[in-house]
Amino acid sequence: MNTLTREFCMTINGKPVLTEQTVPVINPANETVIAQAPKASRNDLNEAVKGARAAFSTWSMLSIAERAAKLEAFSDAILQHRDELANLFTAEMGRPINGGFGSYMEIDSACHWCKVIAKNRLPREIIEENDSHTIEKYYTPLGVAGLIVPWNFPVLLAMWKIAPALLAGNTIVVKPSPYTPLTTLRIGEIARDIFPAGVFNVVTGENELGQWMTEHPDINKISFTGSTATGKKVLQSASVNLKRVTLELGGNDAAIVLEDADVKEVVPKIFWAAFSNTAQICVASKRLYVHQKIYDEFLAEFIQYAKTIPIGDGMNPATLIGPVQNKMQYEKVKALIEDAKSTGTNIVCGGIVEDKPGYFIPITIVDNPPEDARVVTEEAFGPVLPVIKYSNYDEVITKANNTDYGLAGSVWGKDLNLARSIAERLETGTVWINEAHILLPNVPFGGHKQSGIGVENSSEGLKEYTNTKTIMIKKK
């Protein structure tokens, strides 16, 4: 796609806002600048927060049914621009426009999430009721929520935050990643026709904008998705005024293949568990443990399948895997591959990065590296996967848990009782058995250990945008 001709504006207090400074947005498939995104000043952020603060008193007093109706209208309005948004998404993110994790799926899933979340309710609960005393518990909105969204799922993960924050009665300031701001800016434009001024604000900029948000005294809640290192900084700066925080952070998810697994059946499923969205998924299978009895057969089948997958520009309908989204991540993944080569690790597929435009990295499979290899201990967040041999289940559980992360994992095999017993011992927030990446708006999602604080989705995720309030009445 060539440079986009339209102008992109922030949404502040219901109005379009341009800035003197801008940030270039690059198409990762060809490294061309396709647009300029506004670069918010501290004053721009202050105006967004001021507008959100002013709108809060009215928005929070609407009934939850009225707020839900606005969210449903918002979802319908986004779908009316589905083609435009999907093409814009692929241009800035690089993901193939079609396929299981394609751009259309991103837009459709975000709208589905919005409508399902809008049906949630947090009813008042009577804890005690008798002739002399009443105790009632209910939930109140926090105020202004700052929503910091990553570049790997910039629309869907934004909606994970937008829908519950607004439904609970908060007003919002959304900050997309500087790498993928365009689709969110366009959605902010759509929101202007749905929500009252100040309820829905979108500001764009670079890393300092996120820090300004986490430190801002009039933002009451931060929901952040990103790396664990940045999440720690968010938590530290949010402590200035004891902001409520939800942190969905990194992972180094283990997939465990049991000795009774049907190799031909599970290989395609595990491949996509690892490499969907060019492996730029926090819950991607990043370490693959295969029982020694089937290891050689599995590895050969896995390599053969990998070689059939077309990689290229996401605008090509035949493409199934696109480029890494940005140059910084591209260089990190290349460095990981070079480290594997320099330490003598056996790369059995890929590993050679061509010198051509675009942030393309081939599907790279590493055969049985040692447990202390960087390719095993670090979250690649790119198409590099270690396949590791193990001999017994106690051993593999210990290896899988030997990480600071605890986001998700998966177990693959026919013996469901065995698979369940292993799943229960994995120190992660989610474990899938014979499937992966099944995430639903009515199912809580969150990490253990250094993979996060709090949860998203379901009624539990909705509660993250509220305070619990108790009223006690001593009767006559």
Q: Per-residue pLDDT tens for 57-72?
A: 999 999 999 999 999 9
Three-state SS string across 397-417, please?
HHHHHCCCCCCEEEEECCCHH
- Report the pLDDT value the prediction gives residue 98, as an integer from 0 to 100: 86
* 427 labelled catalytic: no
The reported pLDDT for the residue numbered 6 is: 85
Neighbours of 464 (CB within 10 A): 24
Per the residue annotation, which of 47, 106, 248, 464 is the catalytic one?
248
Provide the pLDDT confidence category of residue 101 given band limits of 50, 70 and 90: confident
Identified catalytic residue from 106, 282, 379, 456:
282
Q: Is 9 assigned a catalytic role? A: no
- Taking alpha carbons only, the member of 146, 22, 101 closest to residue 276 is 101
CA distance 174 to 40: 12
| pLDDT score at 4 | 77
Average pLDDT score over residue span 304-316 = 96
Cβ distance 179 to 150 under 8 Å? no
Residue 23 tokens, joined: 């940030």
Q: Residues 149-165: what's their mean pLDDT?
A: 98
Percent pLDDT > 70 in the chain is: 99
Instruction: Report d(CA 299, CA 441) in Å as an integer.
Output: 35
- Examine the pLDDT at 339 and tell me if it is beyond 50: yes
Of 232, 230, 279, 228, the C-alpha closest to 251 is 228
At 2 the pLDDT is 52
10 Cβ contact list (under 8 Å, min separation 6): 16, 17, 18, 19, 38, 40, 44, 48, 185, 188, 201, 202, 203, 204
